[in-house]
Amino acid sequence: MVRRPRFEGQVVVITGAGSGIGEAMAVAFASEGATVVVVDRDDASASRVAGEIVASGGAAHAESADVSLANDVRRVIDGTVARYGKLDVLCNNAGIGVAATCHETSEADWDLTMAIDLKGVFLGCKYAIPHMISQGRGVICNTSSVAGQVGVLNRAAYCSAKAGVLGLTKSIAIDYAAHNIRCNALLPGTVDSPWIGKILAQQADPVGERARMEARQPIGRMGRPEEIAAAALYLCSDEGSYATGTGLVIDGGLTAR
């Protein structure tokens, strides 16, 4: 018996989909039959990912947007519904990180982190939920982090923003359950992504720092973007239909100590 693709006929919007976890999500959803709207503030990256999906036989198109700007987010969400007639899944994945303790964090870096990592999630939900209410269903998957659940060294703004994402996720799950809208969060540990590459490039000893990052997971390595994408597929599929308001930890045992 041939298995039907889990997201056949569905429309999925993914922010921060031009690289890393977001790119892996876009490829994974498309491979399961979804039409994917690849959203990134870097238009070239979004276009590359969407083009590769289409070239491999999938359905996708790119949108350039800054998730911290209400007009950008509203344009993407409303435009998706105008183009395809619905929005089945929203993955609020776009995020940045600043390596600094509280007293070392500039006000500008704090504001930028909150604007993208937390406000961006709020705006995505704010503009997607009315459409989901109208159509009688919808699923939201927000990328938080284990840094939103436990303290992580030298990540004051990031920890704060990601804790906010987890709180917002739970609030939405409660407020909209009666509308058949589910909302969950992914809590990845250290994932080998372009962001980690940038952090390593800033270190005096990148090789040693990579080894330390790998060693802090009991399984001895960083996660792969595809592993986080697989968890998103589960949470957003019918297989995950009983899950809402949860934070799914995928961290190689980092928080199990």
Q: Which residues are catalytic?
A: 158
* CA neighbours closer than 13 Å in the CB half-sphere of residue 160: 19
CA distance 49 to 10: 18
